[in-house]
Structure 1
Amino acid sequence: MYDVIVVGAGHAGIEAVMACCRMKKKAALVTLDLNMAGSMPCNPSIGGPAKGIVVREIDALGGLIPLVADRTALQFKMLNTTKGPGVWSLRVQSDKVEYKKEMARILSQTPGLEVIEEGCASLIIENQCVKGIRLQSGREVFSKTVILTTGTYMASTILRGHTATESGPEDQPTIQTLSECLRKHGVRTFRLKTGTPPRIQKDSIDFSQAEVQPGTDDFFAFSETTKPSDVLSFENQEVCHLIYTAPLTHQIIRNHLHDSAMYSGLVKGVGPRYCPSIEDKLVRFADKERHQLFLEPESKSMDTIYLQGFSTSMPVDVQEEMVHSLPGLQNAKIEKYAYAIEYDAVDPLQMKPSMENKIIENLFTAGQINGTSGYEEAAGQGLMAGINACLKIDQKPPFILKRDEAYIGVMIDDLCTKGTKEPYRLLTSRAEYRLLLRHDNADQRLLRKGYEIGVVSKERYEDFLKKMDMIQSTKEALATVHIKPGPDIDAYLHSLGFDGLGHGMSALELLKRPKVKVKDLLPWIQKTIDPKIASQIEIEVKYAGYIEKAKRDARHLQTMESRVLPLDLDYLHMDNLRLEARQKLDQIRPRTLGQASRISGINPSDIAILSLFVKGK
């Protein structure tokens, strides 16, 4: 008897089972092959817009993916630095081989964790409550809770041209019986599709025809515990390259659209809107003369380049033509051909905000099985599912992040309130309070919560308190530094396009001006300041007004979120409520008035009626 069984060792499964171990639960990880733990069957990278902030949030809650991503990164790049801090996001190009090795090493050495290398055939369910799993060998394993993180392996089919093959990613076996077991007990499933581009032998590419894309020449990391000595120096980091599709590429694709699995009628599932195949791009954006493609290294131990932006389900011979039409790839040798993959996902509208299934008690789901795309989204869900499975065992309230607290909270709220009909991807535009949900302040938002739950160590929490004390004392010190008008400070301000000082002011006050940096004021401050502390203070000072407005808006949201809705409300017979609203509310059964307001098809008049009804109760 285990406390928790986690099925699947992808990014969601790893974070789920590690959270359970940190919370001192007896956990089992069920996977076909531990050496495939944390595999990257698609893009060998971690982070990016919004996603990078999710990884920072996972770090603040004691997760593993940030640490391993830092240690095995080939390149670090901070994105959107020309824009406001609300959209800054870190992305790393990962060494997919070393990443897997490090994950397998940590999992195998984690105290209290048992790894079962076998496939899960079905769930053991009694009276709509999960009791464990049945392995493919027929052996039964029992537990108090089960977390399914099957990714794209549930009833998956590889599609290429006019051919469909039952298989999971990277030639791994698929699970055919699990989704049927879920449907039998009332869980709705639907088909989704994703894809991956070809891998090209590096020495067959003429990189002189491509634009070099270096990383960022500064120290950045996903984990607050990572030190500069833990990562590759900028000089030793790999570079990526940028090319564009050619007119001939477009002509080849158009001539063979009928051969694509997507347009031949073979594909039944819905693909990702924000990461379409190259043939889908040509159909949807017919007026675009060219499309960006990135040449990205996969590992120092592999002679392969990932052709980012060129996913396709064309036949092998057509892929050869397409690749050879690209600049620098005229003589390219394809190591691995692209393909599309279809798989079963469960309807996230049947999921509670705690990640527990509404139909089957003590069953939690996380990752692509919930209809999301991306390693980062999966890892964030896995972490929350692991935490809440442990809290359920301990008979404690669930840990639910609000939309103004974390991108993870935005994602889970979107999934269980609005659902999805296509692979869901986190975007900064999905977050109403993105100025509050920044790369730099993830620990300030979440680390204390992680410590109180038990997923963050006391040592880590004490280091965080020291950091907060340092920020406060530094701000106080800057407020006492008085900078007088003079030729040096005036020359500095003129270089930024400002007039000279008309009167003296504090260094903290001067920081409110755009482009003024703490490091540039050091001659007047006459004190050494940690660059990370300096950056934090600059953001807080320069955006103080906007941040305070966002906090006021968030407080209004919290008022709505505090209005808890009874679980037994009879929406279908609620007077004055529109029929559509009754049906939607009955289907989703929102936890709070705030969640009800975000359901698609619910309008303000419905919320007003519901509010009056609850107030009357």
Structure 2
Amino acid sequence: MTFNYDVIVVGAGHAGCEAAAAAANLGSKTLLITMDMNKIAQMSCNPAVGGIAKGQIVREIDALGGQMGIVTDKTAIQFRMLNRSKGPAMWSPRAQSDRARFIDCWRSIVENTDNLFIWQDMVNELIVENGRVCGVRTGMHVEFKAGAVVLTNGTFLNGLLHIGRTQIRGGRIAEPASKGITEQLVSLGIKAERMKTGTPVRIDGRSIHFDEMGEQPGETDFHKFSYLDTPHQVLKQLSCWTTYTNEACHEVLRQGLPDSPLYNGQIQSIGPRYCPSIETKIITFADKTQHQLFLEPEGETTQEYYLNGFSSSLPLDIQLRALQQIPAFRDIQIYRPGYAIEYDFFDPTQLNHNLETKQIKNLFFAGQINGTTGYEEAGGQGLIAGINAHINCHGGDSFILGRDEAYIGVLIDDLVTKGVDEPYRMFTSRAEYRILLRQDDADMRLTEKSHKLGLATQHRYDLLKEKKDSRDAIIQFCENYSVKPQYINEGLEKLGTTPLAHGCKLIDLIVRPQTTLTNIAELVPALRSELDKVPASRKEEIIEAAEILIKYSGYIKREQIIADKINRLENIRIKGKFDYNSIQSLSTEARQKLTKIDPDTIAQASRIPGISPSDINILLVLLGR
């Protein structure tokens, strides 16, 4: 029996859920296939969303009409804005989520989205005809046909778990691995490799001595993930906790190294540099006598805690004995040990920027299958893959974000241009235009684009327009309103800033580091009246947006000029124009890499590792001819 859809999404993790919801909301009849409907959008690792650069991605997902920010706000048990001591380009939202409610919320979304259907089964074969994917076959021998297929298999492709010398086949603990897809794709010419990641022990909170740990409470101001006018912090807000390893703990860990899969040759695949296991830490940083650990609650009512910073694949007895050396964990009881997992991924340079494979038409990859790590990176890819799968079925130009438009654009361009040699994690340092890609203005950058596409709703677009009009009105008022020394100097001195020698425009005061729109409004009644015109439900958000533009306008304009110059190269298209192997004036490395990547533009070619400025000049000269 055969069933027909426009788009099929395989895997219901963070990439799969965003892909399926996007395709369905755009109007495609969409099927989401998952092995377990009770694990939709499972938080396989820590129960947290956001963080440095990752929080910006979640805000971009929301600005585009995705769901991750909405779900996080509904299920958050702690919220913090990281990097507040730095400039707004570095501010990054992060939330702890209730793991069980996160799943329930996502399942409610996918079950109640028009055009979106769910099938519980395992996909073990793609239907490919004449270089084009046409559907899938499942373990139940059901055949589903579709115009496009999005693979978001996470860590399930030939997944293998390691706990000491014990090996268990699976995609997550107690969940089966998926077989067949990798082997088929390799036979069709797609290159596969192996990666490794890990997860820490889960601890019973009743056995923890919290009085011997440092408390890390959350924040309760207006900040949240979604730009919609929706409530946040609806659940009980909980603290995280900090402690440290010690030399006694390290000694136990060193005793277990002969049985560590990372050090006895059992694991050969690539591991994450930026989230190392505890055994890697004690080897790499042998001079350190302690490493900080973060204890994170898994939910509002559960006793389960996640020990961030103690990822390990050591034997169970070693993990337990090492933790017992830490005073707060001397009576520790655990739910399950930490473990490592190896899985298949596919070299992302085999993808176009719309995340469609170069070898097979209408087949899209998103998430860890592309060599990335993190819910946020997966969700961003899933959203773009779902949008473009819909476009491939119904016509239109591919939806691609530039490096100056979104961290999602940086992420995807890095993947398809540079590939990966370790699990890819987003950092602010990967973006050239951090001042343009702030978390506060993702809606300004992306919502109009998504609304034109048909994904962002009219309500979301109306909220954007209201915010922009209110923000710009504040800025215009500050540019035009004059203040005189005799009326404001006493207040300025109390704020610790230099009094005025003569009158000036209000905007010249706001740029000072000691001043804000709010504290100057206490000194200037006309400004207070102007701020009172801002919609009350979003007043703090809009005032913050205006203040950032006022204080950082010079930096923002300068970076935009640089981005515009680089974008001229983005507009010089070269795909299909050269036989690189025949251009002998290029270096051998350049010929090989340009042939492999087949870049779309001169700008993309310039970002390929190993391509020199002289290689780019040669291409520009040839284009001129």
Mark the runs of 5 or more structure 2 residues left unpaired by the alignment: none
Q: Distance in 2 between matches of 1:526 and 1:313?
A: 58
Question: 1:453: how far off?
Answer: 0.8
Using the aligned pairs only, state the percent identity.
Answer: 44
SS in 2 for 1:328: helix
Q: Distance in 2 between matches of 1:226 and 1:257?
A: 51
* CA deviation string 1:495-540 (max 9, x = no partner): 4442211112222221111131111012312312522121111111
**Match of residue 502 from structure 1:** 501
* CA deviation string 1:436-480 (max 9, x = no partner): 000101001001000011111122112211211111112222233
1:195 aligns with 2:198: yes
Q: Distance in 1 between matches of 2:83 and 2:486?
A: 35
**Equivalent pairs, count:** 612
1:595 aligns with 2:604: yes
Letter in 2 for 1:232: V
Q: Distance in 2 between matches of 1:347 and 1:433?
A: 26
After superposing the two structures, state which structure 1 stretch, 393-402 or 426-435, moved more. Answer: 393-402
Q: Distance in 2 between matches of 1:108 and 1:395?
A: 27
Question: Which residue among 588, 595, 603 is the counterpart of 1:579?
Answer: 588
CA-atom RMSD in angstroms = 1.3
Mark the runs of 5 or more structure 1 residues left unpaired by the alignment: none
Question: Which residue among 133, 141, 145 is the counterpart of 1:142?
Answer: 145
Q: Distance in 2 between matches of 1:568 and 1:123?
A: 32
**Match of residue 231 from structure 1:** 233
Q: Distance in 2 between matches of 1:559 and 1:81?
A: 34
* CA deviation string 1:290-315 (max 9, x = no partner): 11100110012321110001000000
1:543 aligns with 2:542: no
Counterpart contact for 2:224–2:232, Cα < 8 Å: no
Q: Distance in 2 between matches of 1:45 and 1:540?
A: 30
* CA deviation string 1:203-235 (max 9, x = no partner): 1000111111011231211101143x44238xx
Superposition map of 1:336-355 within 5 A: 336-355=336-355
Superposition map of 1:134-283 within 5 A: 134-227=137-230, 229-232=231-234, 236-283=236-283
Superposition map of 1:431-450 within 5 A: 431-450=431-450
Q: Distance in 2 between matches of 1:459 and 1:381?
A: 24
**Match of residue 308 from structure 2:** 308
1:604 aligns with 2:607: no
1:564 aligns with 2:573: yes
**Match of residue 407 from structure 1:** 407
Q: Distance in 2 between matches of 1:393 and 1:453?
A: 14
Counterpart contact for 1:19–1:383, Cα < 8 Å: yes
Superposition map of 1:50-69 within 5 A: 50-69=53-72
Q: Distance in 2 between matches of 1:338 and 1:614?
A: 55
* CA deviation string 1:349-371 (max 9, x = no partner): 10111100011111000000000
1:36 aligns with 2:39: yes
Q: Distance in 2 between matches of 1:494 and 1:288?
A: 46
Question: 1:481: how far off?
Answer: 3.1
Counterpart contact for 2:222–2:540, Cα < 8 Å: no
Counterpart contact for 1:349–1:415, Cα < 8 Å: yes
Letter in 2 for 1:517: T
SS in 2 for 1:441: helix
Superposition map of 1:42-121 within 5 A: 42-121=45-124
SS in 1 for 2:80: strand
Letter in 2 for 1:548: K
Superposition map of 1:338-487 within 5 A: 338-486=338-486
* CA deviation string 1:153-182 (max 9, x = no partner): 110000010111111113111101111111
1:288 aligns with 2:288: yes
Q: Distance in 2 between matches of 1:491 and 1:49?
A: 40
* CA deviation string 1:315-353 (max 9, x = no partner): 011111111112300001011110000000011010111
**Match of residue 318 from structure 2:** 318
After superposing the two structures, state which structure 1 stretch, 86-95 or 257-266, moved more. Answer: 257-266
Q: Distance in 1 between matches of 2:151 and 2:514?
A: 48
**Match of residue 17 from structure 1:** 20
Counterpart contact for 2:482–2:506, Cα < 8 Å: yes
Q: Distance in 1 between matches of 2:471 and 2:352?
A: 38
Q: Distance in 2 between matches of 1:540 and 1:485?
A: 25
Question: 1:6: how far off?
Answer: 0.2
Counterpart contact for 1:246–1:327, Cα < 8 Å: no
Letter in 2 for 1:534: I
Question: 1:609: how far off?
Answer: 0.2
Letter in 2 for 1:382: G
Counterpart contact for 2:253–2:319, Cα < 8 Å: no
Question: 1:568: how far off?
Answer: 5.0
Q: Distance in 2 between matches of 1:152 and 1:32?
A: 13
Counterpart contact for 2:228–2:463, Cα < 8 Å: no
Counterpart contact for 1:50–1:428, Cα < 8 Å: yes
**Match of residue 513 from structure 1:** 512
Counterpart contact for 1:132–1:144, Cα < 8 Å: yes
After superposing the two structures, state which structure 1 stretch, 47-56 or 211-220, moved more. Answer: 211-220
After superposing the two structures, state which structure 1 stretch, 529-538 or 182-191, moved more. Answer: 529-538
Q: Distance in 1 between matches of 2:253 and 2:495?
A: 49
Counterpart contact for 1:37–1:104, Cα < 8 Å: yes
Q: TM-score, normalised by structure 1?
A: 0.97
* Shift in CA distance, 142/568, structure 1 to aligned 2, threshold 3 Å: farther
SS in 2 for 1:197: strand
Counterpart contact for 2:475–2:550, Cα < 8 Å: no
Counterpart contact for 1:198–1:336, Cα < 8 Å: yes
Q: Distance in 2 between matches of 1:413 and 1:161?
A: 37
Counterpart contact for 1:41–1:170, Cα < 8 Å: no
Q: Distance in 2 between matches of 1:453 and 1:280?
A: 46
Q: Distance in 1 between matches of 2:218 and 2:491?
A: 29
* Shift in CA distance, 207/582, structure 1 to aligned 2, threshold 3 Å: same
Letter in 1 for 2:166: T
Letter in 2 for 1:607: I
Counterpart contact for 1:348–1:420, Cα < 8 Å: yes
Q: Distance in 2 between matches of 1:468 and 1:161?
A: 55
Question: 1:128: how far off?
Answer: 1.8
**Match of residue 526 from structure 1:** 528
SS in 2 for 1:90: strand
Q: TM-score, normalised by structure 2?
A: 0.96
Counterpart contact for 2:223–2:541, Cα < 8 Å: no
